[in-house]
Amino acid sequence: MRFDRDRSRQLAGMIARRLAVGLFVLAAVSCLIFLAVSLLPGDFATEVLGRDATKETISALRLEMGLDRPLPVRFLAWIGGILHGDLGRSLASHRQISEMIGPRLYNTFFLAGFAAAIAVPLAVVLGLVSVLFRDSWIDRALNLATLSTISFPEFFIAYVLIVVFAVKLHWLPSLSHVSWGDPLPERLLKTLMPALVLALAVLGHMMRMTRAAVAALMDQPYIEMAVLKGASRWQVITRHALVNAWPPVMTVILFNLAYLVVGVVVVEMIFVYPGLGQLMVDAVVVRDVPVIQACSLVFAASYILLNLLADLFAMITNPRLLRLR
* Domains in the chain: boundaries: 2-83, 104-314
Residue 3 clears pLDDT 50, i.e. is over it: no
Looking at the domain covering 104-314, what would its CATH class be?
mainly alpha
pLDDT digits (tens, 9 = 90+) for 203-241: 888 888 888 888 888 777 777 787 777 777 788 887 778
DSSP assignment of 19-88 equals HHHHHHHHHHHHHHHHHHHHTSSS-HHHHHH-TT--HHHHHHHHHHHTTTS-HHHHHHHHHHHHHTT---
Q: What pLDDT is recorded for position 118?
A: 92
Q: How far apart are CA 9 and CA 254, in angstroms?
A: 25
Q: What pLDDT is recorded for position 193?
A: 92
Q: What pLDDT is recorded for position 265?
A: 84
More confident residue, 119 or 25: 119
Contact between residue 163 and residue 259 where contact means Cβ atoms under 8 Å apart: no
Among the residue ranges 49-58, 145-154, 249-258, the one predicted with the least confidence is 49-58
Q: What pLDDT is recorded for position 121?
A: 92
Q: What pLDDT is recorded for position 1?
A: 46
Q: What pLDDT is recorded for position 174?
A: 84
